[in-house]
């Protein structure tokens, strides 16, 4: 399998599994993966198609102006401006996932909402989460995309106030692993907060040490997790790779 087709298959697998796990909102969220810097090209899910039925051959290759390569519909405008500007500005963002998944989005709706070091899974993201605390409306221009890219900086996660989250990584496998565990961490935190009892925070030094421990296993966990996802899809929904 050549690299171009492998990127399409992997991105479609991520979209399909995100739909199965209900990590999407209707047809309004988007995933991308960078193909090349010169010429600037990236893959994106097609405009307002439900992820549950997407095939690899339907993903759209997009250039620096937002025009599709080949006989495809142009991407949704906010998808283009968010993904293109972050791909251009943030070297770590080879893959970008933007979702309105339930619990991570709920955190962005709270005053000064932050992912707290209160559960082990949250420590995967200790020091790796950035926050854009002012909602700026729809990302219908380069300025809003650039604002997001600047807020993300060199981090892996960006919480968008009153909106959703952006997850970036070096590969589809890394981004999906973070997507999954981020939502689990946010779900645990929101559930604990709903009790009305103060959160029990893990000490900063222990949180930082545990984060470093987790980084040693990050590549292997991401790769194995994603391999299992593709194994499930190969059995239950093999048309994703067509």
The average confidence (pLDDT) of the chain is: 97
pLDDT at 1: 66
Residue 237 is encoded by which pair of tokens? 């929904």
Give per-residue pLDDT as tens, 185-222.
999 999 999 999 999 999 999 999 999 999 999 999 99
pLDDT at 144: 96
Q: What 3-state DSSP class applies to 49?
A: coil
Q: How confident is the model at residue 98 (pLDDT cuts 50, 70, 90)?
A: very high
Which residues, 6+ apart, have CB-to-CB distance to 28 below 8 Å? 48, 76, 100
Which helix (DSSP H) or strand (DSSP E) does residue 42 occupy?
Answer: strand 41-44
Give per-residue pLDDT as tens, 129-160.
999 999 999 999 999 999 999 999 999 999 99
Q: Answer whether 118's CB lies under 8 Å from 202's CB.
A: yes
Decide: residue 211, CB within 10 A, 0-12 exposed, 13-18 middle, 19+ buried: middle
- CA–CA distance, 199 with 162 (Å, rounded to integer): 22
């Amino acid at each position: 399998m050549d690299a171009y087709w492998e990127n399409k298959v992997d991105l479609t697998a991520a979209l399909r599994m995100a739909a199965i796990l209900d990590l999407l909102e209707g047809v309004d969220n988007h995933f991308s993966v960078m193909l090349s810097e010169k010429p600037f090209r990236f893959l994106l899910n097609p405009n307002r198609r439900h992820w549950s039925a997407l095939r690899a051959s339907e993903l759209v290759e997009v250039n620096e102006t937002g025009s599709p390569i080949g006989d495809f519909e142009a991407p949704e405008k906010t998808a283009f401006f968010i993904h293109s500007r972050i791909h251009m500005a943030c070297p770590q963002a080879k893959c970008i996932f933007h979702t309105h998944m339930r619990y991570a989005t709920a955190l962005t709706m709270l005053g000064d909402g932050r992912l707290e070091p209160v559960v082990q899974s949250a420590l995967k993201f200790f020091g790796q989460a950035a926050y854009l605390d002012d909602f700026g409306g729809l990302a219908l221009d380069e300025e809003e995309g650039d604002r997001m890219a600047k807020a993300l900086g060199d981090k892996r996660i960006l919480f968008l106030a009153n909106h959703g989250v952006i997850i970036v990584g070096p590969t589809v496998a890394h981004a999906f692993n973070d997507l999954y565990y981020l939502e689990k961490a946010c779900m645990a935190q929101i559930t604990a907060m709903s009790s009305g009892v103060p959160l029990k925070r893990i000490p900063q030094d222990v949180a930082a040490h545990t984060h470093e421990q987790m980084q040693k296993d990050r590549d292997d966990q991401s790769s194995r997790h994603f391999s299992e996802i593709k194994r499930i899809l190969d059995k239950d929904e093999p048309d994703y790779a067509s």
